[in-house]
Chains A and B, each alone.
Chain A
Amino acid sequence: MMIDNKFTTTDFKSDQYVRWCPGCGDHAILNALLRAMASLGTAPEDTAVISGIGCSSRLPYYMGTYGFHTIHGRGAAIASGVKVANPKLAVWQITGDGDCLAIGGNHFIHTLRRNMDLNIILLNNRIYGLTKGQYSPTSPRGFVSKSSPYGTVEDPFRPAELVFGARGEFFARCVDVDIVHEASCMEAAARHKGAAVVEVLQNCVIFNNGSQSAVSTKQGRAEHAIYLEHGKPMVFGVNREYGLMQEGFGLKVVKIGENGVTLDDILVHDATCVDSTLQNKLALMEGPDFPVALGVIRDVKKITYNEAVYQQIAEVTAKKGKRTLRELILAGKTWRIS
C-alpha cells in the first residue's frame, strides 16, 4: 500500500489541552495514534474516533477528527452504529480494560463476532484510574487495590483469549512507550478490514506504576519480549539468540546453536493462519518462562459486517428492484373505496 504523506500529525490534533497525568502512558499512545493516522492518509474529516468512559476515553477530545466521547462500556456499540450508517468513515474505538472488558464486555465480544470494521485500541493498564484505583478485569489474582485491600480473589481476563474466543480476526499487542512499533500496529489494524484489536500495555503512573515494567524499557523488551513479524522466524533475546519451537501441544523456548537447534528449526510466524490455536498460544505467553509477544499476532481476512449489510441490500434490490414505501404498500393487499 502506498504511504500517503499529505497529512502530518498536526492535522489530526485538536486545540484542547491534554489533561492526562504527567507520565501517563496515554500521552505516548496519543502520539502513536497521530503518527499512524498521518501515515495512513485518511483525511481527518473521514475519521471518527469513538470512546466510552475512563482515562483513555478522553482521547477523542484531543483529536482534530470527528469524535464522540460516549458512555461507559458502550463505545463499541456506538462505533458500530457509526460504521454501519456510513461505512466510508474510518472508525476508531478507544477503550480501556474496564470500559472494554468489564462494563462493555458484551458489546466487545459481539462486535468481534460480527467482524465490524473498527480499529479498537485497548489501553490495558490493569487498573481503574479515573475512579482512583480499583482492580480491573485484567488485574492479576491477589492484586491489592482500594477495592481489594486483601487482594483479589478472581482471575483476570487475557484480552487475546477473549478476542480469539469471540472469533476476532485481528489482534496485535504493543507497549505504550514504544511509539514507532505501536504506530505500526495501529496502522496494521487500520489496514485490516474487520474488527481489529490492538492491546496496548500501558502504565498508570499513579495507581499501578510499574505494572508493565518488564517491557517498559528497550532493554526490558529485548530480554522479556518477542517482536512477531508475519513470515519471519520467531527469535528474540538481547542477541537474538533465542527462538520458539513447537513441543507437543505447546510451545517451547530454545537457544539457537544449543542441542543442535539452528535458525531453520525455529517456528515461522503466520498471522494469516485461519486456525488461531498457535496464535492464541503466542498471545498467552508470559514470563518468567516465555517472552511476551508483541506485534501483529493474528491478521485473517473475512467479510466485514458492514460490507455484508450493504451486499445483502444490493442483492435483494437487484432481485426485487429498488422500491419506495408507496410501491411496497401498493404491492400488498389493497382495495379501493369510491
Chain B
Amino acid sequence: MSNKMEAKALRDVVIRFSGDSGDGMQLAGSIFSNVSAELGNDIATCPDYPAEIRAPQGTIGGVSGYQVHVGGDRVFTSGDKCDVLVAMNPAALKTNTKFLSPSTIIIIDEDTLNEKEFKKALYKTNDPFTELGIHNQVVSAPITTMTKASLKDSGMDNKSMIRCKNMFALGIVCWLFDRPLEKAMQMLNEKFSRKPSIAEANIKVMTDGYNYGHNTHTIVSTYRIEGTEKKTPGLYTDVSGNVATSYGLVAAAEQAGLQLYLGSYPITPATDILHTLSKMKDLGVVTVQCEDEISGCCSAIGASFAGNLAVTSTSGPGICLKSEAINLAVIAELPLVIVNVQRGGPSTGLPTKSEQTDLIQAVYGRNGESPLVVMAATSPTNCFDAAYMAAKIALEHMTPVILLTDAYIANGSASWRIPDAADFPTIKPPFVTPEMQEGWTPTKRDAVSKVRGWALPGTKGFEHRLGGLEKDNDSAAISTDADNHQLMTETRQAKIDYIGTCIPPLTVEGDADADFLIVGWGGTYGHLHTAMDTLRSAGKKVAFAHFQFINPMPANTEEVVRRFKHVVVAEQNLGQFALLLRSKVQGVDIKQYNRVEGQPFNVHSLVEEFTKMMEE
C-alpha cells in the first residue's frame, strides 16, 4: 500500500461521519478513532445521534453523526468544524452544513444524489450544493453501487449488502489518513466474532473502499497525522465517559473492600453505565434494573444502609424523581453516589444532546436545608477519577454525592492510560469499632469533620433506627425541639462545608499574571482549554480555572477569583454556576458566556467572544 502520492503532514484532523440512523455511522466512526488511538494518536469523539431509533430513511430527523478529532499531540475537544465530512445521503449533507469550513472535503454517496432523496431531505432544487451554498471539494463516490458490487458473490440479500456501505466509506477515510486496515479488520472480527460471514463482508467492503480511494486518486493528497509531544508511556485503552464512570465506581468499591450496588432505570444518555456494570458479574458487581427511577435510588439507599457502595445512575428527569429519596440519604447521613449524565431540558427536552442545566437542581433541588456534595467530571477519561472521588467522599463523609457528567463526555471517548490501583487514594469509611458500643447512637459524630459512625446491620450491639424525621443530636430519637433542629441543620451544613478542606485546591492554567480569567466547570474543560491555548497563541494573556468540585467549592476559590480583574464564567446554561460563584465571591464583576444549544461549545465562538470581552 505504498504506491501513493506524497502525503501531507497534519497536527490534527477532525472527521465527521454522518448518515441515516441505521447506516452504521457510529461503528465506522468508532473503528476509525480506535485505530487512530492504537497508532498513538490522541482522540476525542462525539457521537451526535437523534432520539428516534429509526426515523424514516433519508430524512433530516434520522441523521446520525459521529465526529472524531485525531491529533498527533493532545486533543482536548472533538473539534468545531470538520476537515472531512462523510455524508451518506443528502439529508446528512444538509444537517451537517454547519460543521463545514471552506477547506472541508466532503465525501458523499453519489447513488443518493437523486430527486427522490432530495425530496425526502426537503430540498427545493435538484442541486443540493448550490442550494446550501457549498463550494467545497466534493468527492462523489458511488458508495452503494460499489458496496453491492463488492458483495455480489457473497450470497447476501440486497438489504444486508447495503448495510455494509458504512465500511466502504470507512475504507476511503482510512486510505485518506493512512490508517492500516489490519487493526480495523481485527476490530471487525472481534465485533462480529459470532457472525464470521458478516465480519468477512464488512472487511471486504472496507478493503474495496480503501482500494477505491487509492486507485481513483480522486482526492488530491493523503495525510499523515504527526505530533511533537511525547505521550506518557504506559498501557492505554479507549473509554467513553460512561464506561470510565463505571470503572471508577468499581475501582472505589475494590479499594474500599465493599460490594458495589447499582440501582438504576434506563434513561438516555446514562444507560451505558447500567449496561457496563451489568456485565461485571465476575467482578461481583450487583446491578438491579428497578421498576422506576424512584426505586433505583431507594434500593440504592437500602443497599447503602446494608453496607454496600451504593450508586444510582440517571439523567435530569430521573433526578427530579429521585429528589425525595436523595433527601432521605441526606438526613439519614448514608453514603450514596448519584450520577447525573446531563442532557437537554426542561422536561424530556433533548434526550440525546448535552447541556449543563442541572447544576442548581443538583445543589438546591430538594425540600428543606439539604446540603450535599456536587461534583462534575471534566472529560471522558476524567469520569474515572471523578467517579472514584465521588465514591470516596460519599463513603468517608457519610453523605450523598451527586456526580454531574453530560451527554458529550459520557458518549465521547478518548484514549486513557490505564491507572495502577496502587496510585489510588485510600478509602476508609467510618465504620464503628467494638469499643465504641457504649452509648453509641447514629448521631455520634467526629468533632471536626462532623462525620457520623457507620454501623452495618448484622453488627451486634449497634442496632439503631434511621429515618426521615429529624433526630435528636444526642440520642438520635425523633425530635421536633427548636434548638435541636437549628443545631442539626447547621451540623449537616458544616459537615459538607468541611469537605471543602479535603479536596484539591482550584488551580489556574495559562498566564498567572493575566487580567482575564476564564472560569468553567464540568464537561466543557476541553473546549475552554483549547480556547485559552488559541488566545495565548495569538499573544493574549489569559488564565483559566476549571471547577470539578461545585459544592463545596475548593477552599481557595475566593482567593483565586479575586486575583483577576475580569472574570467570565462560560457554561452551557443561562448562568447557573455564575450565580453560585457570585454568592461565593461577592463584589467581583463576573461576566457570562452562555450557550444552550445541546451541542458542545464551539472553540471558534469562544475565542471570538473572549477576545471581544478582553477588548472592552
Residues of A participating in the B interface, judged by any CB pair closer than 8 Å: 14, 16, 43-46, 48, 50, 53, 60-61, 63-71, 74, 77-86, 88-89, 106-107, 110, 309, 312-313, 315-317, 319-326, 328-330, 332-338
Contacts and interface: CB of A to CB of B under 8 A. Distances in A.
A61 B261 CA distance: 27
Nearest to A61: B465
Contacts of B40: 335, 337
24 contacts: A44-B463, A67-B463, A67-B464, A68-B305, A68-B467, A70-B328, A74-B294, A77-B291, A78-B298, A78-B299, A79-B302, A84-B261, A84-B302, A85-B302, A86-B308, A89-B306, A320-B282, A323-B283, A325-B421, A328-B282, A330-B418, A334-B418, A335-B237, A336-B234
Nearest to B295: A77
Contacts of A315: 281
Nearest to A315: B281
Contact of B259 (A66, A85, A319): A85
Contacts of A321: 282
A165 B307 CA distance: 33
B245 to A, nearest CB: 13
B467 A70 contact: yes
B474 interface: no
A336 B233 CA distance: 7
Contacts, number: 203
Contacts of A45: 457-463
Contact of B301 (A64, A78, A325, A335): A78
A334 B237 contact: yes
Counting from the closest, the 9 A-B pairs by CB-CB distance are A81-B302, A69-B467, A81-B299, A77-B298, A85-B303, A316-B281, A85-B306, A67-B465, A110-B291
B332 interface: yes
Contacts of B237: 329, 332-335
Interface in B509-532: none
A74 B306 contact: no
B326 to A, nearest CB: 10
A16 B477 CA distance: 8
Interface stretch (B153-161, B247-255, B370-378): B247-255
A337 B291 contact: no
A317 B279 CA distance: 11
Contact of B468 (A70, A77, A323, A330): A70
A329 B417 CA distance: 11
Contacts of B478: 61
Contact of A77 (B187, B251, B299, B418): B299
B367 to A, nearest CB: 11
A65 B466 CA distance: 11
B72 to A, nearest CB: 13
B13 to A, nearest CB: 20
Nearest to B468: A71
A319 to B, nearest CB: 8
A86 B307 contact: yes
B134 interface: no
Interface string B206-240: 00000000000000000000000001111111100
A82 B465 contact: no
B425 interface: no
Given A79-B302, A317-B282, 16 more contacts: A45-B463, A61-B478, A69-B467, A70-B467, A71-B468, A80-B302, A84-B302, A86-B458, A110-B295, A322-B283, A325-B254, A326-B421, A333-B190, A335-B37, A335-B38, A336-B235
Interface of B: 34, 37-38, 40, 187, 190, 231-238, 247, 250-251, 254, 259, 261, 263, 280-284, 286, 288, 290-292, 294-295, 298-308, 310, 324-325, 328, 332, 418, 421, 456-469, 477-478
Contacts of A85: 259, 261, 286, 302-308, 310
A77 B254 contact: no
A319 B281 CA distance: 11
Contacts of A81: 261, 263, 288, 298-306, 310
A69 B254 CA distance: 30
A70 B297 CA distance: 12
A228 B466 CA distance: 37
Contacts of B38: 333, 335
A50 B283 contact: no
Given A77-B298, A85-B259, A110-B295, A48 B306 contact: yes
Given A61-B465, A323-B283, A337-B40, A77 B460 contact: no
A22 to B, nearest CB: 19
Nearest to A309: B286
Most B Cβ at <10 Å: residue of A53, A60, A67, A322: A67
A182 to B, nearest CB: 23
Contacts of A80: 288, 295, 299, 302
A3 B38 CA distance: 65
Contacts of A324: 254, 283, 421
Contacts of A16: 477
Nearest to B460: A45
Contact of B281 (A14, A89, A317): A317
Nearest to B418: A329
Contact of B465 (A53, A69, A71, A309): A69
A329 B247 contact: yes
Contacts of A60: 465, 467
Nearest to B464: A66
Nearest to B290: A77
A321 B233 CA distance: 30
B338 to A, nearest CB: 14
Nearest to B248: A325
A313 B299 contact: no
B332 A68 contact: yes
Interface centre among B190, B281, B304 (most CB of A within 10 A): B281
A70 B237 CA distance: 43
A66 B432 CA distance: 15
A59 to B, nearest CB: 10
A106 B291 contact: yes
A85 B321 CA distance: 23
Contacts of B466: 67-69
A337 B235 CA distance: 6
Contact of B302 (A53, A77, A337): A77
A68 B465 contact: yes
Contacts of B233: 336-338
A165 to B, nearest CB: 15
Nearest to A108: B291
Nearest to A63: B465
A332 B37 CA distance: 14
Nearest to B302: A81
A61 to B, nearest CB: 5
Contacts of B234: 336-337
B467 A82 contact: no
Contact of A70 (B250, B298, B300, B306): B298
A334 B415 CA distance: 10
Given A70-B328, A84-B288, A325 B250 contact: yes
A333 B328 contact: no
Contact of A107 (B190, B282, B291, B310): B291
Nearest to B417: A337
Contacts of B235: 330, 334-336
Contacts of B298: 70-71, 74, 77-78, 81, 107
